[in-house]
Chains A and B, each alone.
Chain A
Amino acid sequence: MELLDWTLVSSTIRMVTPILLAALGGALCARVGIFNVGLEGLILVGAFSAIVGNHFTGNLFLAILIAALASVLFSLLFAYMTIRMKANEIVVGVAINFLALGLTTFALRAVFGVKGAFYDKDMAGLPRLDIPVLKDIPVLGDILSGHSPLVYVAFIAAILLYVFFYRTVTGFRVLAVGLNPVAARSLGLKVTGLQVLAIVMCGALCGVAGAQLSLGQVTMFSEGMTAGRGFIALVAMMMGQSHPLGILASSLLFGLMDALSIRLQGFSLPTQITSMLPYVLTILAMFFLKDKGQGSSNQQSTR
């Protein structure tokens, strides 16, 4: 087995999708001054709801929609607690994670009557899209074609978010809220509304991330299947400085390390060191890029 080949890139792209989607959601929150540690829980809710949706409707599109809606519902709870009740966002995020883990486990029992994991061999997962002309090009075809539709959605979402932030009026307003909520409010911007909007969009993105996890990569749900991806997304968001294209790059790095560490197991090399690399790089990046795109992150420092 080669250490580096083109299938490595292909599997990187597949692994990166849930992280990328969730990190974009986290960036939306960060840009309105909210540090959302609840990504993990939101993805988990999405993953479960996607399976429920698929089981009862048999329609993949509806399943993704249901996943997004369920996560939005959860994110509304987050929004209510942080904005309306002025609760500390870290605390609420932690609670959301625990709540999601607990409720999905109970719902798994209540809806499907099973423990641990739900798997149905007749359930269809997300199809692989073969892009007509592209798939025949030798290397590019292997890399870019044949992924689940949500993989493409994720990359498009990153570009759309970039356009949203830097090319639309609402996007500018969202950024203004994050930079200085008081000034934004005195300009007549609806700060609360924009914050809720960002949190809801974050919920939707996390829901889709969950759907990719449970329907795209495998076709099953198991308890706690997010396995820390929400926190990795959080780190990818920090490393990307909450900039959509930066996040695209940092997520790809995480995905590559992930794919690489699986590959390294075949070479009996310590995988922990490769897994550690993105975190070390993130810390180093913070030394150089600390003044850009801080969102809520600088609140801690000023206190």
Chain B
Amino acid sequence: MAAVKELGKSLVQPLLAVVIGLLTGALVIAAVGESIVGTYQEMWKGAFGSFYFFTSTLARATPIMLIALGLSLAFRAGVFNLGAEGQMVLGAISATLVAVYLPAPGMIKLVAAILTGMAVGGFWALIPGFMEARFRIPLLISTLLFNYIAVLFASYLVTEPFRDRTGSAALSQTVMLDKSVWLPKLFAGMSVHAGFILAIIAALVLFWVIRYTPFGYEVKMLGQNPLFAQYGGINRIKVMLTGMFASGGLAGLAGTVEVLGAHYRFVDGALTVPNFAWTGLMATLLANSNPIGIIITSILLAAFQTGAMGVERNTDVPLELASVIQAVLILFISAKFSYDWWKKRKTKGGESHGAA
């Protein structure tokens, strides 16, 4: 019961923010001289208008959700992991290579690919975590830098050694995966795939971990009051590193399921162009790091994006309508969210450390 109440409480704020975001969207639609009602109708249709569009929204929400879940864990432990993009891409390319080259039957290959994607994403996140723990190099900066290295390295792998040279396409991409390692679609002819189920399972597991396990409690304490947590005997470094590994692993899984369930090959730029990583960050913030809330906010943000695609197809309003609405939403949420946090800090005796 308490969980339901907490969830409800954490959803009031986002809903209000959505309304304000939509109002701002209305302003910019009016500025380009289009019908506000008509545009939003198209947006609704593009996101939920038919079963096909609805499943496309869910498919788009899948990587966003997984990334958001990973970030929420790091966030709860009080570390800002800005490296989801690199962790996702590196996980995806490793999983692709396993899926293409591992000499094993389909089912084993599929499982191996998924595990590899998660492990590589996790280890890639662990390096900045280790650098922070051992050398006090700020995680915030190192994770950001690691993105570039990972994305460029993956790009190198698919333009040079592992490029598909069979087709005439000039695209940098690996060869197509064998059908036996494709993640099954949930409905025939629809774009949502089994990765969505994995994402939902991940959300439920994370919810359980945070609420009912000692590790979840340690993460929570560390995030809320690091000094007290350390005084209470929590090994900050251990929790931080575990959090980073899980966070990166989920990001790696996000990239992996996107490849195995949607693209069926690693295409250079296909994971970075849709901005999954930053959208995932937004979904976490909107849901206030609540795993169940993240299911809803990821679908919401994905709906804005697929809806905006529908808008662009059928009206003269550009796709970037989604960016405007999302940005306003986040600005509104961030003020309130941090205000709460800051207030909590203040009443605890005004510790002056930490980012305001």
Task: Across the interface, name the chain B residue whose C-beta is closest to A108.
Answer: B318
Interchain CA distance A294-B137 in the complex, whole Å: 10
Kindly state whether residue B288 has any CB partner on chain A within 8 Å: no
Query: Any chain B CB within 8 A of the CB of A222?
Result: no
Are A282 and B320 in contact (CB-based, < 8 A)?
no
20 further A-B pairs in the complex, CB-CB below 8 A; given A102-B320, A235-B145, A280-B149: A85-B338, A86-B335, A87-B339, A88-B337, A95-B328, A95-B331, A97-B327, A99-B327, A105-B319, A105-B320, A110-B33, A272-B153, A272-B155, A273-B156, A283-B146, A296-B355, A297-B141, A300-B79, A300-B140, A301-B138
Check A85 against B339 for contact (C-beta < 8 Å).
yes
Residue B130, interface by CB 8 Å: no
Are A101 and B323 in contact (CB-based, < 8 A)? yes
The reply on B6 being an interface residue by CB < 8 A is no
> Which segment, of B54-62, B212-220, B241-249, B278-286, faces chain A?
B278-286
B347 to chain A minimum Cβ distance, whole angstroms, is 14
Minimum CB–CB distance for A290 against chain B, Å: 6
Q: Per-residue 0/1 for A72-103: is the Cβ within 8 Å of any B Cβ (1 yes, 0 no)?
A: 00000100010001111111101111110111
14 sample A-B contacts, Cβ–Cβ < 8 Å, listed by A number: A81-B334, A91-B337, A94-B281, A95-B328, A99-B327, A102-B320, A105-B320, A276-B149, A276-B152, A286-B142, A300-B132, A300-B138, A301-B136, A301-B138
Q: Which residues of B contact A235 (CB under 8 A)?
A: 144-145, 148
- Which residues of B110-168 have CB atoms within 8 Å of chain A's CB atoms? 132, 135-142, 144-146, 148-149, 152-153, 155-156, 159-160
- Over the window 44-83 of chain A, the binary record of Cβ atoms lying under 8 Å from chain B Cβ atoms (1 yes, 0 no) is 0000000000000000000000000000000001000100
Asked if B137 contacts A287 (CB within 8 A), the reply is yes
**Which residues of chain A have C-beta atoms less than 8 A from B354's C-beta?**
299, 302-303
Distance, CA A94 to CA B149, complexed state (A): 21
| Interface: A182 (CB within 8 A) | yes
Q: CB of A188 within 8 A of chain B?
A: no
CB of A251 to closest CB in B, whole Å: 16
Give 3 closest A-B pairs by Cβ, nearest first: A102-B323, A102-B324, A99-B327
Nearest opposing residue in chain B for A282, CB measure? B145
Known: A109-B316, A270-B160, A280-B149. A96 touches B327 (CB 8 A): yes
Q: With a CB–CB cut-off of 8 A, which chain A residues contact B328? A: 95, 99
Judge whether B251 is part of the interface by a CB distance below 8 angstroms: no
B31 and A106 within 8 A (CB) = yes
Q: How far is the CA of A298 from the CA of B28 in the complex (A)?
A: 39
Question: Nearest A residue to B328 by beta-carbon distance?
Answer: A99
Residue from the list A98, A276, A294 in contact with B153, Cβ < 8 A: A276
Contact of A106 among B141, B285, B320 (CB under 8 A): B320
State the CA gap A58–B331 with chains docked (Å). Answer: 35
A74 to chain B, nearest CB (A): 11
> What is the CB-to-nearest-CB distance from B89 to chain A, in angstroms, rounded to a whole number?
12
Total number of A-B contacts with CB less than 8 angstroms?
163
In the complex, what distance in Å separates the CA atom of A270 from the CA atom of B142?
A: 24
Answer whether residue B348 sits at the interface, using C-beta atoms and an 8 A cutoff.
no
A217 contacts across to B, CB distance below 8 A: none
Q: Does A162 contact B (CB under 8 A)?
A: no
Instruction: Tell yes or no: A238 within 8 A of B by CB.
Output: yes
Find A87's partner among B33, B136, B137, B338 (CB 8 Å cutoff): B338
CA distance A259 to B248 in the complex (A): 33
Judged by a CB distance under 8 angstroms, whether B78 is at the interface is: yes
A92 contacts B318, C-beta separation under 8 Å: no
* Bound-complex Cα distance A303 to B78 (A): 7
Q: Mark B1-40, 1 if CB is under 8 A from A, else 0.
A: 0000000000000000000000000001001110000000
B90 CB-CB contact with A under 8 Å: no
Determine if B323 and A98 form an interchain contact, defined as CB atoms under 8 angstroms apart. yes
List the B side residues contacting A97 at CB < 8 Å: 278, 327
Residue of B nearest to A96 (CB): B327
Q: Mark A222-236, 1 if CB is under 8 A from B, else 0.
A: 010000000100110
Q: Is A115 located at the chain interface by the 8 A CB criterion?
A: yes
Q: List A contacts of B153 (CB < 8 A).
A: 272, 276
Interface centre among B145, B278, B337 (most CB of A within 10 A): B145
Q: Is the CB of A301 within 8 A of B132?
A: yes
Cα–Cα, bound, A231→B103 (Å): 41
| B169: interface (CB < 8 Å) | no
Q: Contact at B140–A35, with CB atoms within 8 Å? A: yes
Q: Are the C-beta atoms of B80 and A99 separated by less than 8 Å?
A: no
Chain B residues with CB under 8 Å of A87's CB are: 331, 334-335, 337-339
Closest chain A residue to B281, Cβ basis: A94
Q: Which residues of A contact B323 (CB under 8 A)?
A: 98-99, 101-102, 105
Asked if B356 is at the interface of the complex by the 8 Å CB criterion, the answer is yes
A112 to chain B, nearest CB (A): 11
Contact present for A238 and B137 (CB under 8 Å): no
Interface: B179 (CB within 8 A): no
- The reply on A155 being an interface residue by CB < 8 A is no
A234-253 interface (Cβ within 8 A of B): 234-235, 238
Q: Is A279 on the interface with B (CB-CB < 8 A)?
A: yes
CB-CB < 8 A to B135: which residues of A?
A: 287, 290
Scoring A residues 258 to 284 as 1 if CB is less than 8 Å from chain B, else 0, what string do you get? 000000000000101101100110110
Contacts of A297 in B (CB 8 A): 138, 140-141
Which residues on the B side are within 8 Å of A102 (C-beta)? 28, 320-325, 327
Known contacts A286-B137, A303-B354; A103 and B324 CB within 8 A of each other: yes
Interchain CA distance A270-B82 in the complex, whole Å: 27
Residues of B within 8 Å of A115, CB to CB, are 318
Choice from B146, B330, B338 contacting A95 with Cβ under 8 Å: B330
B187 within 8 Å of A by Cβ?
no
Q: In whole angstroms, how far apart are the Cα atoms of A110 and B316 in the complex?
A: 11
Q: How far is the CA of A290 from the CA of B156 in the complex (A)?
A: 30
Residues of the B chain whose Cβ atoms lie less than 8 Å from the Cβ of A301 = 132, 136, 138-139
Q: Does residue B326 face the partner (Cβ distance < 8 Å to A)?
A: yes
> In the bound complex, what is the Cα–Cα distance between A223 and B322 (angstroms)?
15
- Complex contacts, A282 vs chain B, CB 8 Å: 145
Check if B149 sits within 8 Å of A298, measured CB to CB: no
C-alpha spacing A279/B324, complex, angstroms: 31
